[in-house]
Amino acid sequence: SRSINLAVIPGDGIGQEVVAEGLKVLSAVLPQDVKLETKEYDFGARRYHATGETLTDADLDALKQHDAILLGAIGDPSVPSGVLERGFLLKLRFAFDHHVNLRPSRLLPGVDTPLKGEPAIDFVVVREGTEGPYTGNGGTIRKGTEHEVATEVSVNTAFGVERVVRDAFARAQARPRKKLALIHKNNVLTFAGHLWTNIFNKVAEEYPEVTTEYMHVDAATIYLVTQPERFDVIVTDNLFGDIVTDLAAAVSGGIGVAASGNINPSGEFPSMFEPVHGSAPDIAGQGKADPTATVLSVALLLRHLGLEAEAARIDEAVAADLGERAGKPARSTSEIGDALAVRVAG
């Protein structure tokens, strides 16, 4: 018999509600012989207001003991922009070396898309998670004066780029279509762009079966709305990945169903799974949030822990549930969670 020792971070706003449903479905899907232990952590706006802390060294030590982390959402208008993002979310991704930020996009039957023609969307974005413009490198001089200068430094290393490019090639090789697109802006960001492009082309030689293409990020946004079916696996940097995955979510059913994993493939640190959406304070506490993205993030978590059959059961349950939604009255957060829990248990 085995056990999962899970850290649970509900966070702010709708995070609380959607995580509760994620755990409900997780409990329902696990076989008897897998023991689930959970420990809840109070990170987010409340902790910040109460103590001024976002994520301490002691917190990191505690989180490190877990097999994985399930996160709801972090962020609240009462906290200045950047404090929780840099002080918690990004701090954790960097501290736990979550360099593979995995974001699948599938347009499931019955799900509404803003695009005409119901395109066959089924791709996964491998977003680099520990480098690029997200390092916090940069600064400000003469702040608040008419002579202020602010810089942001995108830092890209061969080490960091190669490991995420290799991860993406391995994923492309394992998929039926075996296609991989690199998205960057190598005609303008020539230093980082050439590093990415050269490593991509070098690793490509080891994967002769994988069909590759390169695309500038601006052109990629066009293809994501005009030909999203052309994508299979995408690999890209941290900032471009942030942008294209929100757009990808929008065209494939909305951020209500977009899941993500912040993965440390070596297992040295626990990986973290979270819906792509934010804390949505405007609808918090009203039972209106769709927990589907969190439930799909639980599937990514199970897959990461080697529980493929259970992950697949969740994916199927979600697909079935979404397929039956059209024309029915909207259900509450917990009603959707209940329905999914019944399906995965059945």
Q: Please state the residue numbers annotated as binding site.
A: 93, 103, 127, 218, 242, 246, 278-290
Nearer to a copy of itself, 36 or 188 (CB): 188
CA distances 276 to 2, 187, 208, 236, 286, Å, are 29, 29, 33, 17, 20
Q: Rank residues 37 and 218 by Cβ distance to a copy of itself and give the closer one.
A: 218
Query: In angstroms, what CA-CA distances link 152 with 135, 191, 344?
Result: 9, 15, 46
Q: Locate 141 and state its tokens.
A: 């001089």
List 24, 41, 59, 185, catalytic entry? 185
Residue that has been written with the tokens 């998670």 in this structure: 129
Residue 275 touching a copy of itself (CB under 8 A): no
179 is catalytic: no
Residues 29-58 that bind ligand IPM (CB under 6 A): none
Catalytic residue selected from 134, 167, 237, 315: 134
Please confirm, yes or no, whether 59 is among the known catalytic residues: no
Q: Which secondary-structure segment (H or E) carries 202?
A: helix 190-204
Who's near 231: CB < 8 A, 6+ residues apart?
Answer: 121, 123, 179, 181, 223, 224
67 binds ligand IPM per the rule CB under 6 A: no
The minimum distance between CB 93 and a copy of itself, in angstroms, equals 11
Examine the residue annotation and report whether 246 is marked as an active-site residue of this protein.
Answer: yes
Interaction of residue 247 with a copy of itself, rule CB under 8 A: yes
Residue 234 engages a copy of itself in binding (rule: CB under 8 A): no
Is residue 110 involved in binding a copy of itself (CB under 8 A)? no
The identity of residue 140, as a single letter, is T
Window contacting a copy of itself (CB under 8 A); options: 38-46, 242-250, 300-308, 323-331: 242-250
Residue type, 62: A
* Residue 149 binds to a copy of itself (criterion: CB under 8 A): yes
Select the residue interacting with a copy of itself from 38, 173, 211, 221 (CB under 8 A): 221
- Per the annotation, the verdict on 39 as an active-site residue is no
The closest of 72, 92, 103, 126 to 270, measured between CA atoms, is 92
CB 26 within 8 A of CB 298: yes
Q: 177: Cβ–Cβ under 8 A, 6 or more apart, which residues?
A: 232
Q: Which residue shows structure tokens 């850290």? A: 7
For residue 67, with 0-12 CB atoms within 10 Å meaning exposed, 13-18 middle and 19 or more buried, which class applies?
Answer: middle
185 as an active site residue: the answer is yes
- Per CB under 8 A, 251 contacts a copy of itself: yes
Check binding of 225 to a copy of itself (CB under 8 A): yes
Out of 32, 151, 187, 266, which residue is the one contacting ligand IPM (CB under 6 A)? 187
Applying the rule CB under 6 A, the residues between 231 and 290 that interact with ligand IPM are 242, 276
> For residues 200 and 121, what is the distance between their CA atoms, to the nearest angstrom?
24
Considering beta carbons, is residue 173 or 221 the nearer one to a copy of itself? Answer: 221
DSSP string, 213-236: EEEEHHHHHHHHHH-GGG-SEEEE
- 188 in contact with ligand IPM (CB under 6 A): yes
Q: Give the three-state DSSP class for 273.
A: strand
Contact residues for ligand IPM (CB under 6 A)?
85, 89-90, 187-188, 218, 242, 276
Contact residues for a copy of itself (CB under 8 A)?
75, 81-82, 85-86, 90, 114-116, 133-134, 136, 138-140, 142, 144-159, 162, 185-195, 197-198, 217-219, 221-222, 225-226, 239, 242-247, 249-251, 254-255
Catalytic residue positions, numbered: 134, 185, 218, 242, 246
